Chains A and B, each alone.
Chain A
Amino acid sequence: MVVAIQIPGGRTVPVESLFPRLEPLLPLVQKPIQYVGGELNSVVRDWDEADVRWCLMYPDAYEVGLPNQGVQILYEVLNEMAGVLAERTYSVWPDLEGLMREHGVPQFTVDAHRPVGAFDLFGVSFATELGYTNLLSALDLAGIPLSAADRDESHPVVVAGGHAAFNPEPIAEFVDAAVLGDGEEVVGAITEVVREWKREDRPGGRDELLRRLAVSGGVYVPRFYDVDYLPDGRIRRVAPNRSGVPYRVHKHTVSDLDDWPYPKAPLVPLAETVHERYSVEIFRGCTRGCRFCQAGMITRPVRERSITTIGDMVRGGVQASGFEEVGLLSLSSADHSEIGDIAKGLADRYEGSNVSLSLPSTRVDAFNVTLANELSRNGRRSGLTFAPEGGSERMRKVINKMVSEDDLIRTVATAYSNGWRQVKLYFMCGLPTETDEDVLAIADLAKRVIDTGRQAGGRGDIRCTVSIGAFVPKPHTPFQWAAQADWTTVDARLQKLRDAVRSDRRYGKAIGFRYHDGKPSIVEGLLSRGDRRVAAVIRRVWEDGGRFDGWSEYFSYDRWADACAEVFAGGPVSLDWYTTRERDSVEVLPWDHLDSGLDRDWLWEDWRDSVDEVEVDDCRWTPCYDCGVCPSMDTEIQIGPTGKKLLPLTPV
């Protein structure tokens, strides 16, 4: 199939399938199936019949990117719109990248193998900052200039989204625009602006299109903002350089999730991927108020999907996909006001059918055995996962993880006496105000869990796995001002903790210990709280071969540290300056002009409360504490109960 795109100046570029050129390379690479598309429920629409064309990317390997909910939702939403076409692309592994460069094959979509450079919009979803180098690979392979300033009308508009886009400043040089918050509605608004501009024969070129997007107020276009710096390296001010462009850009919030029951027909890959299940988001947002949790802060308020819509989505999604596992997703799934009825209703519907339910992200204090029994009716009772996050009572007060040690012990005792034999516990290391004692308390807790399990279960084969990640302060959280612990401190504490767990033979085999060293978290910290000056570091690392930074076999701390030393040489800033330095209340933060709805003064007070070990309760059940989101975003908490139940499925 050969079609053509018209670009200003009358040049015509044919848009052919790249597959015939890619095909001879595929026998030479690992897992070629990930590059061929053809997934069940994938869509190939006619190129010429669409007037706005989106290429969506998750900038990681296919096996990680394909299950991503955000991309799947937008893919379906866009392809349902009249005159719109959406295709997907993922990062190619270095073996294929090398062959593509050698044979001149550009970055392609997996749906119809069209060149990414031929689309109107290139939307990239960043769940983590560690995908930034992969963005550069994709742009370069697509033939799109890395710097947004070097692009012209023939290049797609590069739009960043996802949680990392709440501070897109480190990639401001590489993207044309960034969108904050829920994507379902705003992709339609962006599509309309592009459609209109194309219909008018592209007046004012690329600059005018970007201006139209920026003045809408819901799209951040970095080029229309100037950043000035103080001699000591801090930001002096960020201000628009174009009239009509707003001082602050707001996040988007979908108020009724029942209006957006996506994904309806999830993509079913042929290749093996990290999640092989049908996932339904049962609510969005979280107000538990954990101070380290960026997701909980930037997705407020809580908006529940109704039990009826959840039931309909599960029925449709399982039917359309053939998946055997259904994941009920959210930031804290047991907090849904009707979770008991949802779990019982679904367990009844799928009794004896080999469809199993899972509930990721369950809080210790929201767990109950009735719920757990419903969830494991068709499945196994192998392990339960909880995230106390902090080892000591004091630490949990600092992070506002309002779970006491007794809560945890009570919960695991119940679980063990009901037949579970393994509990996984997640913790963080390097939290603000943390001392060695706080981390060593993790060992005591794990030992108490094992003792409790041995007593309650009356058996010896009880296990507890402790997983520990290094804490990274994130923008738009109370810890955005905090000093990140340096990696040597984190590594030393983890070492002491490991020794403490291993020292006692009674627990040696019962307690598993999983952790990563602290170095990758420092790089994540740089990219999370960095400003526009970090772009040069990302580019340097990429030029030096940096790819797939989320993968330990590809990640190189030294490469990042060397690039920082080189780029920042002679200036006031450094890798340490961005990561291990505490900020004060008056410092202009790189993302202050990006509005997540949270009141800056409230965030600061919450940060001070944190240091004073003062806890804040959840506003779903206690009065509003004025975080600022609902009034500034004109939204409200949307929770049940609706009182409805799920009816049995009638066979068709």
Chain B
Amino acid sequence: MARPQPDREADVPVQRLRIRYAKRGRLRFTSHRDFQRALERALRRAAVPMAFSGGFSPHPRVSYAGAAPTGSASEAEYVEIALAERVDPDRVRADLDASLSDGLDVLAVVEAVPGTPALPELLTGSVWEIVLPGLTEGDAAAAVRAFLAADRVEVERMTKKGMRRFDARAAVVRCEVSRASARALAESRGECAILRLVVRHGTPAVRPDDVLAGLRVVADLRPPSPPAVTRLRQGPLDEGTGEVLDPFASETRAARTT
């Protein structure tokens, strides 16, 4: 008599947690797939009571939202997990952080307020910092002026579906050259310029390297060594002010009122 294949029903999630984490230092070279595997292992190590999907090959219910590209650092990456038991979010933050390598750092864990939009709907804009070693502020500022003055800046990027050509200009809400901090100067060992970029998320997603490609197109700006890119914020984009807001605002309010 053939035994049935091992099978299970899906768990009913009783709590959803939203996690903000950072990708720092040398671990900025983690790809999104690398991070997914690391997170799922860390959830097991931290014994977080995950809700599992049903079926032949159950997997923990984790929802990922647009990840920073491999090689870019980030202070604002987001992920949501569904749990089969209720837990203390602060405890999960500490346990999960301890279970991940240094450099993949869990910054905040909040309980999702029922009815708030899903993460991908909330995360509509990003603030990026781009350190350009070996370039002067003046060179960078001139290139940014030319970029912002254009209506369209066509760039190319190799994607899984082949070479794509798209406009990098429209998604850029703001782009400023800021004064290089002493730290940035020390790390780049010499002259450097710093861009602060606010980008609207869309399809295709315009990434910092696309904007850099755009600066090359409009002003032939070529950094002599690879730029250091960091996502500083991610959240709802306020189209009026061009500011990126806190995606955990409703959770913070809810926590204050209880």
Contact = CB atoms under 8 A, between A and B. Distances in A.
Nearest to B59: A354
B6 A376 contact: yes
A37 interface: yes
A417 B3 CA distance: 9
Given A276-B37, A354-B52, A418-B2, A322 B58 contact: no
B27 A270 contact: yes
Interface stretch (B41-49, B194-202, B213-221, B246-254): B41-49
Interface stretch (B28-36, B105-113, B155-163, B231-239): B28-36
Nearest to A34: B29
B103 interface: yes
Given A24-B225, A32-B29, A33-B31, A38 B102 contact: yes
Interface residues of B, number: 34
Given A33-B29, A377-B6, A39 B44 contact: no
A14 interface: no
Interface residues of A, number: 38
Given A27-B71, A28-B226, A417-B2, 10 more contacts: A23-B26, A26-B29, A33-B31, A270-B27, A319-B45, A321-B45, A322-B44, A354-B52, A354-B58, A381-B5
A357 B58 CA distance: 16
A562 interface: no
Nearest to A456: B2
14 contacts: A26-B29, A31-B31, A36-B27, A36-B29, A38-B102, A270-B27, A270-B101, A271-B34, A272-B34, A322-B40, A323-B41, A378-B6, A381-B5, A418-B2
B203 interface: no
A418 B2 CA distance: 5
Contacts, number: 83
Nearest to B72: A27
Contacts of B35: 270
Nearest to B42: A322
A378 B225 CA distance: 50
A423 to B, nearest CB: 16
A276 B56 CA distance: 20
B37 A373 contact: no
B184 interface: no
Contact of A38 (B4, B6, B26, B70): B26
A380 to B, nearest CB: 7
A26 B3 CA distance: 51
B26 A322 contact: no
A32 B5 CA distance: 40
Contacts of A320: 45
Given A28-B226, A32-B70, A380-B57, A268 B41 contact: yes
Contacts of B126: none
Nearest to A318: B44
Contacts of A270: 27, 30, 34-35, 37-38, 101
A58 B242 CA distance: 51
Contacts of B34: 33, 270-272
Of A36, A319, A320, A418, chain B has the most CB atoms within 10 Å of the CB of A36
B45 A322 contact: yes
Interface of A: 19, 23-24, 26-28, 31-33, 35-40, 268, 270-272, 276, 319-324, 354, 373, 376-381, 417-419, 457
A36 B28 CA distance: 10
B74 interface: no
Interface in B1-21: 2-6
The 10 closest A-B CB pairs, nearest first, are A322-B41, A322-B45, A36-B26, A32-B29, A322-B44, A27-B226, A419-B2, A270-B34, A33-B29, A27-B71
A380 B2 contact: no
Nearest to A420: B2
A19 B26 contact: yes
B3 A272 contact: no
Contacts of B3: 373, 418-419
B6 A381 contact: yes
Contact of B5 (A24, A419, A457): A419
Nearest to A651: B47
B99 interface: yes
Interface string B169-181: 0000000000000
A129 to B, nearest CB: 31
A37 to B, nearest CB: 7
A112 B39 CA distance: 24
Which of B41, B42, B71 has the most C-beta atoms of chain A within 10 angstroms of its own C-beta?
A: B41
Kindly name the residue among B34, B35, B101 whose own CB sees the greatest number of chain A CB atoms within 10 A. Answer: B101
A462 to B, nearest CB: 13
A323 B42 CA distance: 9
A427 to B, nearest CB: 28
B5 A380 contact: yes
A323 B35 CA distance: 15
Given A319-B45, A376-B6, A380-B5, A38 B99 contact: no
A380 B6 contact: yes
A26 B28 CA distance: 11
A378 B99 CA distance: 24
Greatest chain A CB density within 10 A among B5, B29, B103 is at: B29
B2 A324 contact: no
B71 A457 contact: no
Contacts of A37: 26
B2 A457 contact: yes
B207 to A, nearest CB: 13
Contacts of A271: 34
A24 B27 CA distance: 14
A39 B2 contact: no
A322 B5 CA distance: 25
A53 to B, nearest CB: 22
Interface in B88-142: 99-103
B198 to A, nearest CB: 23
Nearest to A35: B29
A38 B37 CA distance: 15
A379 B103 contact: no
Contacts of A40: 41, 99-101
B23 to A, nearest CB: 11
B33 A272 contact: yes
B30 A33 contact: yes
A380 B26 contact: no
Contacts of A35: 29
A37 B5 CA distance: 39
